[in-house]
């Protein structure tokens, strides 16, 4: 894979960089994506599982589904694409990962600034009293009923029809506004408001670099588009960045 000279030039002088990631970046860690032929939503209807009414109607079913997904993510490991973003971070004045994923893999890989737009599967809270159940505490509780008040414990993730967490969205928007470059990795770019962020970058004069195994609605308007697996493409781009810039951060 070769990186066009124009992009090399941009990466040489870029200061503030953002990576917007979706389920495709974790596909190589063995976590299923949502869309496409073997995606989660081809077998399951999101209306039945990923919304608040569904949870109230059948908390046991919805909780079991998230328990199943929690097991998959815990047994998975970050892959070279997650680690490439950790490496990339070292070369720029600021580097923000904005993720739609709830799998915690960016943080496990070691990325320092991560905006989790759709929440995190390791966090839960009680709808009754607000008690938080993080990871192991939730396991120890052993039920979706709160040990304090008996209320329903829900995962701290964004379901269809719900607002994004305000602080994570603010972090994402601010990073997008000042980004010189945004990498858009492994997302179908169809779920809003996340899909709006590349437009924010563009409006403020930044460049869009898409990395995906297939075309998306963003591909035509991206400044650069790499067709290939996230791990392969991001590893090569990271190597190139190191060569272009060394490890020195531009801190001016
Ligand atoms: P999707 O399942 O919609 O899209 C995954 C994208 O990753 C597709 O464009 C694939 O072509 C691409 N892809 C798959 N494997 C890849 C690989 N190895 N390397 C690079 N790209 C690859 O997932 P998202 O865009 O993340 O929301 O979906 C957005 C949101 O829709 C999710 O966060 C979730 C879902 O409903 C909530 O649950 C709130």
Q: What spacing in Å lies between the alpha carbon of 147 and ligand 1's midpoint?
A: 35
Q: Which residues of the chain have pLDDT under 70?
A: 247-252
The pTM (predicted TM-score) of the whole model is 0.95
CA nearest ligand 1 atom 33, residue: 100
For a ligand 1 pocket test, name from 1, 19, 23, 44 the mutation site with the most ligand atoms within 8 angstroms of its C-beta.
Answer: 23
Domain ranges of the chain: 1-31+78-118+163-245, 32-75+120-157
Which are the catalytic amino acids?
118
User: What pLDDT is stored for residue 71 in this prediction?
Assistant: 93
User: What pLDDT is stored for residue 251 in this prediction?
Assistant: 53
The CATH number of 32-75+120-157 is 3.30.1600.10
User: What pLDDT is stored for residue 39 in this prediction?
Assistant: 81
Is the distance from the beta carbon of residue 116 to the nearest atom of ligand 1 less than 6 Å? no
DSSP string, the chain: ----HHHHHHHHH--EEEEEE-THHHHTTT---SSSTTSHHHHS-HHHHSSHHHHHH-HHHHHHHHHHHHHHHHH----HHHHHHHHHHTTSSEEEEEE---S-HHHHHT-SSEEETTEEEEEEEETTT--EEEHHHHHHH-SSB-TTT-PBEEEEEPPTTPPPPHHHHHHHHHHHHH-SEEEEES--S-STTGGGHHHHHHHTT-EEEEEESS--TTGGG-SEEEES-HHHHHHHHHHHHHHHH-S-----
Domain 1-31+78-118+163-245 sits in which CATH superfamily? TPP-binding domain (3.40.50.1220)
């Amino acid at each position: 894979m070769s990186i066009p000279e124009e992009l090399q030039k941009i990466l040489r002088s870029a200061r503030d960089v953002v990576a917007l990631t979706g389920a495709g970046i974790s596909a190589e860690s063995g976590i299923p994506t949502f869309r496409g032929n073997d995606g989660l939503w081809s077998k399951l209807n999101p209306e039945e599982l990923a919304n608040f009414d569904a949870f109230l109607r059948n908390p046991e079913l919805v909780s079991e589904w998230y328990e199943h997904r929690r097991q998959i993510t815990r047994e998975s490991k970050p892959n070279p694409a997650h680690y490439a973003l950790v490496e990339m971070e070292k070369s720029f004045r600021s580097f923000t990962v904005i993720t739609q994923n709830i799998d915690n893999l960016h943080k496990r890989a070691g990325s320092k600034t991560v905006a989790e737009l759709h929440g995190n599967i390791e966090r839960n809270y009680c709808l009754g009293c607000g008690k938080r159940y993080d990871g192991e505490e939730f396991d120890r509780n052993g039920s979706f009923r709160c040990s304090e008040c008996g209320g329903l414990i829900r995962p701290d993730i964004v379901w269809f029809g719900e607002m994004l967490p305000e602080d994570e969205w603010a972090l994402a928007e601010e990073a997008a506004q000042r980004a010189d470059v945004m990498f858009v990795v492994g997302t179908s770019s169809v779920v809003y408001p996340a899909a709006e962020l590349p437009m924010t970058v563009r409006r403020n004069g930044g460049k869009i670099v898409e990395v995906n195994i297939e075309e998306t609605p963003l591909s035509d308007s991206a400044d650069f588009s790499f067709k290939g697996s996230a791990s392969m493409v991001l590893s090569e781009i990271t190597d190139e960045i190191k060569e272009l810039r060394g490890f020195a951060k531009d801190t001016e």
